[in-house]
Amino acid sequence: MNILFLALGNYASINRRGIYLDLLRVFIKNGHEVYIVTSLEADSPDPFKLIKEPGSHLLKVKTGRITKTNIIEKGINTLLIEKRYIKAIEQHFSGVKFDLVLYPTPPITFLNVVQYIKGRDHAQAYLMLKDIFPQNAVDIGMMKKSGVKGVAYRYFRKKEKRLYAVSDHIGCMSQANVDYLLKHDPEIDPQKIEICPNSTEIEDKSVSGAVRDQIREKYGIPADKKVYIYGGNLGKPQGIPFLIKCLKEARDIEDAFFLIVGAGTEFGKIETYLNTSGQENARLMKRLPKEDYDAMVGACDVGMIFLDHRFTIPNFPSRLLSCMQAKLPVLAVTDPNTDVGKTVVDGGFGWWVESNDAQAFADTVRAINARDDFSEMKEREFAFLKEHYSVETTYAVIRDALGWEDGKTAEKTDREAVTVQ
């Protein structure tokens, strides 16, 4: 079968690590041909770049700036993504008949591309729902439902509903996401909604004591304290002001050290706080290359997840997977609508604190620090990862929903990709 995957992101090779590339390699392993259309850096001199590797064709399309720019430029370029993607597909993949178009949210602006491929090739459409937009923007005050500012909300809400309607299958990250969709979009046929979780290529990334000491020494991380790490995006969805409150509340816990690693719009707030407070048991670091970050995670003791308490939508951050691969018990500090906290608690490998109670955060850290041995939690965590969050499991969910049998590929006559000159 020929698979078209639509996304935004700086993908350089099918062999790089990431939740989508890991999954797409399973499609290739099972005899399918994968075609990826994604964005190209805004400052690239070329309008597109095509990277061919065994089983995959990666087409990068210049879209203009949609990150690290003003809201007007971002808005215009976001709205133009669909036209640019369709033009690129027509130009470079016109000789390929696709059996499946696979796409995650964000963004929701792939609607016309999906409709185009479905109409042209009679392909099935599978939405991997990773983000419920525009409601998430409303929750944290970035968008309003009424007044002049409500125009944008109504536009994107209409587009969201149309995307759900055109999708033959909708894979949600967790049961809470399924329940939310059924409640707030009752017009969707429940039969096409299922759990299709974030997943990864299973790899044990825990480290030995000696390696842990080396990594801690390399980055100046205390060797004699329990290290709590938060890594990833430092933006409004993570509730950074509350994270700072937690750091303040835990500043006197001498046997705990808090490591914050990442980038985002709220990075400066944490930086300013740490520079002015003189807090000694916390450090902020800029984003690291994935390989270096994964090694650092393995040298820590507890992974942290933060989500803004205002969320009414059930986020399920993929950064949980990096903690699980490193066998780090997880402290989830979130709103009550997500089930990520329930997952780590019921799975026996973590703790949950509601993200409006900094004192409860500090008390939980003290309780965690009183424990000497996490070995049983770590083994339960890794077993849970293998059972629920492997890319093979996610692939099987999608395959079964589509009614496919592995090893059966479409006829070559209709599926040959054109050669890009």
The predicted-structure confidence for 376-421, as pLDDT tens digits, reads as follows: 999 999 999 999 999 999 999 999 999 987 654 433 333 333 323 2
Q: Determine the pLDDT at residue 42.
A: 66
Helices 71-92 and 111-121, axial angle in degrees (round to 10): 10
Q: What is the pLDDT of residue 2?
A: 96
**Band of pLDDT at residue 151, cut at 50, 70 and 90:** very high
- For 59, what's the count of Cα atoms within 13 Å in the CB-facing half-sphere? 24
Residue 302 near residue 229 (C-beta atoms within 8 A):
yes
295-318 pLDDT per residue, tens: 899 999 999 999 999 999 999 999
Indicate the range of 88-92, 96-100, 361-365, 409-413 predicted with least confidence: 409-413
Residues 392-400: contacts with CB within 8 Å, 24+ apart? 392/26, 393/197, 393/199, 394/23, 394/26, 394/171, 394/196, 394/197, 394/199, 395/23, 395/26, 395/27, 395/30, 397/171, 397/194, 397/195, 397/196, 398/102, 398/126, 398/169, 398/171, 398/196, 399/30
* Helix (H) or strand (E) run with residue 135 in it: helix 135-139
| pLDDT of res. 73 | 63
43 has pLDDT over 90: no
- pTM over 0.75? The answer is yes
pLDDT in tens, 215-264: 999 999 999 999 999 988 888 888 889 999 999 999 999 999 999 998 88
Domains and CATH numbers, the chain: 2-200+390-415 (3.40.50.2000), 209-385 (3.40.50.2000)
